[in-house]
Amino acid sequence: MGRTSDAGSRILGAARSLIELRGYSALGVAEICKTAGVPKGSFYYFFDSKEALALAVIDEHWAAQQRDWERVLGSDDVPLQRLRRLFEETEAAQRAGQAACGTVSGCMFGNLTLELSNQTDAIRSRLQQIFDAQVDMVEGVITEALRQGAVSVAGPRAAARSVVAQLEGQVLFAKLYNNPARLEALWDDCLALLGAHPSRPAGGHAT
């Protein structure tokens, strides 16, 4: 039983690494099992399909990232500082990934969205739930900031979507140029998107 569950988690770990390196389509079950060091025949004991394995990889990755986002965005800092901290941790994670494997791997959810969302409804639906949850969390922070007069946005939901879109867009460029420093722009971008740029009056209060 201990051995059995170990094989399943080794398959999951191998799939996560390989998906980060090369995406989903390029992988085969045989390669995943070889990397995991488990017999190919045992794959279907744990997972019904490669798609089911991808969903398990997504769920595991999101469980960890959701805890990080909740910790940072639910902290006692003033709202905008929580967003700043989120960007700093995102940059640090991409730097750590680059140090470990030589390349910025980007956002697993963004990667799989552009690779797969038009091919499998199950994965599209799961990724939608994850990005909805990210937008929910950012919206909560923006709503608090709005109440405190720290930002000036017409609608916190649309503003949250724009902030998460900017995050995904800059992570895309960090990956393309293999340069995590691209993420340093996120803080100023976020302030601008929320109408809180230091060089401009925030919340409609002219200087």
User: Counting contacts by CB under 8 A, is residue 81 touching a copy of itself?
Assistant: no
**What single DSSP character describes residue 204?**
T
CB closer to a copy of itself out of 85 and 124: 124
Residue among 86, 75, 77, 70 at smallest CA distance from 150:
77
CB closer to a copy of itself out of 7 and 58: 58
CB closer to a copy of itself out of 63 and 154: 154
**What single DSSP character describes residue 28?**
-
Q: Judged by CB under 8 A, which of 124, 133, 140, 187 binds a copy of itself? A: 124
Three-state DSSP at 151 gives: coil
User: Counting contacts by CB under 8 A, is residue 139 touching a copy of itself?
Assistant: no
User: Counting contacts by CB under 8 A, is residue 113 touching a copy of itself?
Assistant: yes
Window 6-45: contact mask with a copy of itself (x via CB under 8 A): ---------------xxx-xx-------------------
Q: Yes or no: say if 149 and 79 are a contact pair by the CB < 8 Å rule.
A: no
Distance CA 134, CA 132 (A): 5
User: Counting contacts by CB under 8 A, is residue 181 touching a copy of itself?
Assistant: no
CB closer to a copy of itself out of 44 and 177: 177
User: Counting contacts by CB under 8 A, is residue 103 touching a copy of itself?
Assistant: yes
Which amino acid is present at 50? K
Q: Yes or no: say if 90 and 72 are a contact pair by the CB < 8 Å rule.
A: no
User: Counting contacts by CB under 8 A, is residue 148 touching a copy of itself?
Assistant: no
Q: How many CB atoms lie within 10 A of CB 199?
A: 8
What is the Cα 158 distance to its own chain's centre?
A: 19
Per DSSP, helices labelled H in the chain are 2-22, 29-36, 43-46, 50-73, 79-101, 108-116, 121-147, 156-176, 186-193
CB closer to a copy of itself out of 12 and 104: 104
User: Counting contacts by CB under 8 A, is residue 170 touching a copy of itself?
Assistant: yes
Interface ranges with a copy of itself (CB under 8 A): 21-23, 25-26, 103-106, 110-111, 113-119, 124, 127-128, 131, 152, 154, 158, 161-162, 164-170, 172-173, 175-178, 182, 185, 188-189, 192-195, 197, 199-201, 204, 206
